[in-house]
Structure 1
Amino acid sequence: MSSKLYPLFANVSGRPVLVVGGGGVGERKAASLLESGAVVTVGAPEITPTLRQWAEAGRIRWRQGRFDDDWLDEPWLVIAATGDADLHARIAALAQSRRLWLNVVDDTERSSFHVPAVIDRAPVTVAISSGGHAPMLARLLRERLELLIDPVTGPLATLLGDMRAGIRRKLPDMAARRRFYDRALSGPIQSLLRRGQRALAEAATERLLESFDAPLQGSVILLGAGPGDPGLLTLRGLRALNEADVILYDRLVSREVLALARRDAECVEVAKQAGNHHTTQEQIHALMLQHARAGRRVLRLKGGDPFVFGRGGEELEFLRAHDIPYEVVPGITAALACAAYAGIPLTHRDHAQSVRLVTAHCQGSLDTLDWRALAQERQTLVVYMGTSELAVLREHLLAHGRAASTPFALVENGSRPEQRVVVGTLDGLVKGAEQYAVRSPALLILGEVAGLASSLAWFGRPPLASSAVSPVTALTA
């Protein structure tokens, strides 16, 4: 079929629809029609067990037998799904003469309407059709769009539909209503619905309607960007990137993740790196407050997860103290991502029954650690921000009983194309890092499981073995 199709949505609720064919395809068509409220009749000599159950329960009507012309007396539209080309040709000719809408499965020439690939966010429905030329392409597009269309779209449409009459009374002017909806859809209503707080979302919409001329209230989202691979960003995180007016991002956020942001968003780097220009935490707080009070949607974008050595708790305390609405979208923290991309299981029934996450970004933080507990065997130790303190880490762990032969893995730029993994044993930790000039961002994984990196590696280049060999390893080699 070469003609362009005219898109429309059919209201079949309470209307008779006929499905000719009782096999698996007919069952799927009947199920979709039932969801739309149609009065479904299935005509076929035999039907699937599921269709039989529906017929016995009164959900559908079963016309048992071979197709007869009078089957077309009642329905508004017909679906032919028998696999019999001759029968389909006969049904198509009869439907044409009776001006009935007909879909013949996998036969575009005989169909007067097509069933599209559907994204269901009821009551919102997105339909995709290739005009019958490439159904698999339509399905592929549906799969991709499924990721982009927020599941809260349906509840949001229901809420606005329930309040539509009141909105029209309050704002009879169409231009004013358009401005109201623009403001409502960019405010906190969707966030409240995501939390399952329908009543609060309705109240927020009512307040916005009553104070429509008041300045728009801003908000802040703390988003974990993950370790760098944009494919590891959550779907909610992707939506937040596309909704933000202002993005305050850390140095460790990759360019690929930033590229997913809305093109007109204002992006401000708030890097904190020793020796370079940096923004203090107090200045970051001030920027969040400034932009939120100006009615903007602020995204505080952090590498990894905001609540794992990301100072997210401090930022929430500040926002709460200043009555700024906020939301947290977690990200995949470096410990999980770097270990996975290096082929290192953080826990293993034979080697590690627990995991400890610590930060070593300065001497002060190292002094507060329980080294005796950290040096225990059969556990995995993951050290964030520790590349400049490897010598101190090594000495403390050896002094508190960790074996010199304990395997380590240094994962540099984990999950990114330039990822490198350096492996060795604890006594050679410093020399191994120096040998390959390991630089931040890098994560240290120490424990028996780190020894699996060489055999389980799957991403990027193979692990680099340190030439600094433990005396214990040398004796047993």
Structure 2
Amino acid sequence: MDFFPVFLKLTQKKVLVVGGGEVACRKVDLLLKASANITLISPELHPHLATLLNEGQFTYIQAEYDKSQITGFDQVWATTDVKALNHQVYHDANALQIWTNVVDDPDFCDFITPSMIDRSPIQVAISSGGASPVLVRYIREQLETQLPQNLSLLASFSGQQRGRIKQYYKTVDERRKFWEHFFRSPAVEEATTTEQLEQIFTELLEKHEDTGANLYLIETGNDPELLTIKALRLMQQSEFVLYPQDKNDIFVDLCRRDADRESYQYTELVERVEALLAEGLRVCVLAPKDQHRPALKKLCADINGIFVPSHG
């Protein structure tokens, strides 16, 4: 991992942008959305930046860059089209231990900006660490087609209901299961107003019953891309993941990130699953193709669990 993924709060943080051209335009626009306190240094300004300046959006120093100007900032962006100058900005800022980004030059960056899908307050960030911008753009296009357009509405609505739902469900686990049910409702995905979401929410509060413990037996096969949508959905709903010894691989990584995980031996698997089910947990067992045992499939059938065969 060349860069650690993180979201920074830049509200009123002092940010210096060196350069006044087209690249600076893109960065200043993003920084303004994050409510940063921007100072820009450049002999000249792009017309777009001149418009923003006239609106009082940032502080402008009309001058050539000098390292004496860099003191007192929380973050620095070097956006000029002169490579040597950008590197000088990086070294000057580094000497003062200020986080610096030299645009399109990851070797001279303390942080980089990912490609973003913005459904505020929901944000999705994608990065290749500068290795393949075109691939990142392709991934973003794919995600844009998959994510509902009403994510902003859903996030705002659900945030407003946090106190209300605690009156109905006392534990974090119960509330999480309710929200999973709510967000997977087709009517929620199609909702365009708060009133529609309120109606769905109220109906689910009145009707929803905890699904409780269950067993999801997922046959993994050899190719993770051949997992069915149903398998991925169940893997994401699971609260406890069991996987074969020495098989902590991509299939485990595709499961819910906050689920507990544990390796197993087949001789002890059924007993372990029964114990977890007795705790009221939704258990996902990852079983390589043709290696799951009849006793486990029988247990799955006996409790009306779900078995998803591999397609690869």
TM, length-normalised to structure 1? 0.43
Cα root mean square deviation, aligned = 2.5
Number of the residue aligned with 2:163: 165
Q: Which runs of 5+ in 2 are unaligned?
A: 212-225, 233-312
Q: 1:72 aligns with which of 65, 70, 73?
A: 70
Task: State the shift of 1:191 in Å.
Answer: 4.0
Alignment map for 1:147-166 (pairs within 5 Å): 147-166=145-164
Number of the residue aligned with 2:285: none
d(CA) in 2 for partners of 1:172, 1:140: 43
Alignment map for 1:454-469 (pairs within 5 Å): none
Number of the residue aligned with 1:37: 35
Number of the residue aligned with 1:93: 91
What is the one-letter code of the residue matched to 2:32? Answer: L
Q: 1:103 aligns with which of 68, 92, 101?
A: 101
- Does residue 213 (structure 1) correspond to residue 209 (structure 2)? The answer is yes
Q: Report how many aligned residue pairs link the two structures.
A: 218
What is the one-letter code of the residue matched to 1:114? Answer: I
Q: Which runs of 5+ in 1 are unaligned?
A: 216-258, 266-477
Q: 2:184 aligns with which of 173, 179, 186?
A: 186
Task: State the shift of 1:133 in Å.
Answer: 1.4
d(CA) in 2 for partners of 1:190, 1:19: 42
Number of the residue aligned with 2:45: 47
Number of the residue aligned with 1:174: 172
TM, length-normalised to structure 2? 0.64
CA contact (8 A) 1:192 1:198 kept: no
Q: 2:142 aligns with which of 141, 144, 147?
A: 144
Number of the residue aligned with 2:17: 19
What are the superposed Cα offsets for residues 125-171 of structure 1, whole Å, 9 maximum, x if unpaired? 11111112122221121122111111112211111112223234543
d(CA) in 2 for partners of 1:156, 1:83: 41
Q: Secondary structure at the match of 1:118?
A: strand
d(CA) in 2 for partners of 1:123, 1:70: 37
Q: Which runs of 4+ in 1 moved over 3 A?
A: 209-215, 261-265
CA contact (8 A) 2:115 2:140 kept: yes
CA contact (8 A) 1:192 1:200 kept: no
What are the superposed Cα offsets for residues 24-78 of structure 1, whole Å, 9 maximum, x if unpaired? 0100110111122222222111111111111111112212111122432233211
Q: Do the aligned partners of residues 23 and 163 (structure 1) sit closer, same or farther apart at CA in structure 2, a change above 3 Å counting?
A: same
Q: Do the aligned partners of residues 102 and 170 (structure 1) sit closer, same or farther apart at CA in structure 2, a change above 3 Å counting?
A: farther
Task: State the shift of 1:210 in Å.
Answer: 4.9
Identity of aligned residues (%): 31
What is the one-letter code of the residue matched to 1:27? Answer: C
- Does residue 120 (structure 1) correspond to residue 118 (structure 2)? The answer is yes
d(CA) in 2 for partners of 1:189, 1:12: 36
Stretch moving more, 85-94 or 22-31: 85-94
Task: State the shift of 1:83 in Å.
Answer: 1.5
Number of the residue aligned with 1:331: none
Task: State the shift of 1:202 in Å.
Answer: 2.4
Q: 1:131 aligns with which of 105, 129, 132?
A: 129
d(CA) in 1 for partners of 2:100, 2:166: 39
What is the one-letter code of the residue matched to 1:20? Answer: V
Number of the residue aligned with 1:61: 59
Larger relative contact order (CA 8 Å, sep ≥ 6): 2
Q: Secondary structure at the match of 2:164?
A: helix
